């Protein structure tokens, strides 16, 4: 039973798929309970936070259980966005009632923040709204207009990278005094504990060879077809003694699976979504990110925390800002298969002492992504 009588904080993060923002929201909520002494609530609009209902650190406020009834194929991509927007608009009376009942002092929105701002403008003028930008924002004309109107009415905007911060100041004219870069609180001892879980017999057989690992939704953003092409070339020209695992689910699963079957590749494995990806990452020889963009790239940071060397594209914005090539990880030029193969081979031939230095440098980088640092940094910009 939560026994907090101080100020109330409500988290808003509506989603249908299991994306990194879900865990980031949970870690943010826990940071305010542990270090802020606040009463913390999470709005559970579609059932996205059902598995956390028994937490003693915050209160889950449920609206619907819609996620349970949505087919997996509609939980990512444009269709999922339409479903989310449609039902949130439909549920505005219920959501408004729940918010009024909680009567929070602060609302932290991690997804679809302009709808949270809309509710503030119409019903809840006194709530202090923090919009946390969790993804790399891409603007068409209509979206730019929406952001200019709504996000400029946020009390504070938080970005994951300095590059995005500068882009939002430039593109949607956010007041520089109302926008700040603060790292997500995704690193905790829970990752270490989960990484020690056992593998099943089939999984153990995969790890009899060295394993290259990647984690993420099977979507265009993650660019996994390029990863498969690059690893096949690496297999054909450099090394056959490895397995590649990709952990995640999404709309491109069939296309990726068909490529593997067409080329009869026996050492590439699509393992699907795993609730605990850390037990696979920690046993891998290398973590690879082939993404077209990341903001900031949670799995890169988690792999670094688990002392696994990292290779990533030079994509915006997280990898571009967080990873310094040859210092705390390795970058290859996006779309350049030859450069990708060169970097993989370079890492494999690197002296252990040199690789250890790079791993330690990345480990130090991950210290910026803790609950304590997040809470402290946000408090510096808000009168909590």
Residue 158 counted as domain residue = yes
How far apart are alpha carbons 283 and 285 in whole angstroms? 7
For residues 314 and 218, membership in a common domain is answered with yes
With 0-12 / 13-18 / 19 or more C-beta atoms within 10 angstroms meaning exposed / middle / buried, residue 194 is middle
pLDDT at site 201: 95
Exposure b/e, 291-310, CB count within 10 A at least 16 = b: bbbbbbbbbbbbbbbbebbb
Model confidence pLDDT, tens digit, residues 176-186: 999 999 999 99
Residues 38, 55, 198, 281, Cα dihedral to 10° = -40
For residues 136 and 168, membership in a common domain is answered with yes
Residue 216 counted as domain residue = yes
pLDDT at site 207: 97
For residues 178 and 48, membership in a common domain is answered with yes
How far apart are alpha carbons 357 and 379 in whole angstroms? 33
For the domain that residue 242 is a member of, what is the CATH number? 3.40.50.2000
Q: Dihedral of CA 342/347/349/354: which sign?
A: positive
Model confidence pLDDT, tens digit, residues 67-124: 988 887 777 778 888 899 899 999 999 999 999 999 999 999 999 898 899 999 999 9
- Domain of 111 in residue numbering reads as 8-185+369-379
For residues 362 and 374, membership in a common domain is answered with no
For residues 339 and 202, membership in a common domain is answered with yes
For residues 50 and 180, membership in a common domain is answered with yes
How far apart are alpha carbons 134 and 320 in whole angstroms? 16
For residues 290 and 323, membership in a common domain is answered with yes
Q: Which two tokens stand for residue 233?
A: 């070339």
Residue 2 counted as domain residue = no
How far apart are alpha carbons 168 and 43 in whole angstroms? 27
pLDDT at site 79: 84
Model confidence pLDDT, tens digit, residues 359-371: 999 999 999 999 9
For residues 147 and 35, membership in a common domain is answered with yes
For residues 311 and 325, membership in a common domain is answered with yes
How far apart are alpha carbons 310 and 286 in whole angstroms? 6
Please, which pLDDT band fits residue 5 given cuts at 50, 70 and 90? low
For residues 202 and 314, membership in a common domain is answered with yes
Model confidence pLDDT, tens digit, residues 30-62: 999 888 778 999 999 999 999 999 888 999 999
- Residue 215 scores a pLDDT above 60: yes
For residues 145 and 58, membership in a common domain is answered with yes
DSSP string, 41-80: EEEESSSTTGGGTT-SSSEEEE---GGGGS-GGGSSHHHH
pLDDT at site 138: 86
The predicted model gives 254-283 an average pLDDT of 95
Please, which pLDDT band fits residue 16 given cuts at 50, 70 and 90? confident
Residue 71 counted as domain residue = yes
For residues 178 and 223, membership in a common domain is answered with no
The predicted model gives 140-156 an average pLDDT of 92
The pTM assigned to this predicted structure is: 0.90
Residue 171 counted as domain residue = yes
Number of domain units in the chain: 2
Q: CA 25 → CA 1, 43, 109, distances in Å? A: 20, 11, 9
Q: What is the DSSP letter of 198?
A: P
Residue 384 counted as domain residue = no
The pLDDT > 90 percentage for the chain reads: 80
How far apart are alpha carbons 111 and 107 in whole angstroms? 12
Closest CA to 313 of 237, 233, 227: 227
Residue 232 counted as domain residue = yes
How far apart are alpha carbons 22 and 166 in whole angstroms? 25
Model confidence pLDDT, tens digit, residues 304-355: 999 999 999 999 899 999 999 999 999 999 999 999 999 999 999 999 999 9
Residue 3 counted as domain residue = no
Maximum alpha-carbon separation in the chain: 64
């Amino acid at each position: 039973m939560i026994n907090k009588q101080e100020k109330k904080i409500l988290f808003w993060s509506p989603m249908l798929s299991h994306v990194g923002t879900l865990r980031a929201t949970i870690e943010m909520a826990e940071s305010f309970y542990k270090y802020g002494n606040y009463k913390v609530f999470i709005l559970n609009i579609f059932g996205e936070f059902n598995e956390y209902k028994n937490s003693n650190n915050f209160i889950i406020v449920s609206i619907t259980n819609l996620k349970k009834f949505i087919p997996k194929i509609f939980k990512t991509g444009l269709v999922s966005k339409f479903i989310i927007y449609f039902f949130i608009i439909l549920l505005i009376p219920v959501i408004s009632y729940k918010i009024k009942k909680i009567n929070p002092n602060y609302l932290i929105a991690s997804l679809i923040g302009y709808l949270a701002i809309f509710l503030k403008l119409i019903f809840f003028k006194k709530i202090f709204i923090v919009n946390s930008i969790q993804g790399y924002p891409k603007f068409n004309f209509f979206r730019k207009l929406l952001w200019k109107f709504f996000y400029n009415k946020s009390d504070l905007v938080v970005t994951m990278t300095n590059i995005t911060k500068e882009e939002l100041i430039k593109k949607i004219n956010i007041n520089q005094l109302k926008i700040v870069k603060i790292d997500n609180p995704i690193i905790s001892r829970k990752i270490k504990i989960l990484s020690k879980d056992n593998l099943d017999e089939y999984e153990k057989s995969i790890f009899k060879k060295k394993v290259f690992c990647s984690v993420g939704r099977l979507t265009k953003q993650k660019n996994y077809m390029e990863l498969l092409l690059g690893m096949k070339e690496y297999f054909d020209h450099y090394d056959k003694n490895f397995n590649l695992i990709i952990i995640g689910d999404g709309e491109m699963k069939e296309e990726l699976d068909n490529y593997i079957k067409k080329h009869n590749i026996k050492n590439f494995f699509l393992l699907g979504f795993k609730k605990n990806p850390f037990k696979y990452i920690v046993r891998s020889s290398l973590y690879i990110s082939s993404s077209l963009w990341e903001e900031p790239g949670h799995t890169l940071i988690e792999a670094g925390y688990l002392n696994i060397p990292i290779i990533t594209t030079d994509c915006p914005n997280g990898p571009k800002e967080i990873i310094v090539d040859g210092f705390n990880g390795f970058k290859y030029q996006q779309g350049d298969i030859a450069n990708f193969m060169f970097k993989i081979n370079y890492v494999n031939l690197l002296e252990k002492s040199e690789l250890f230095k790079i791993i330690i440098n990345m480990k130090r980088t991950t210290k910026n992504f803790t609950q304590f640092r997040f809470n402290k940094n946000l408090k510096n910009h808000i009168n909590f």
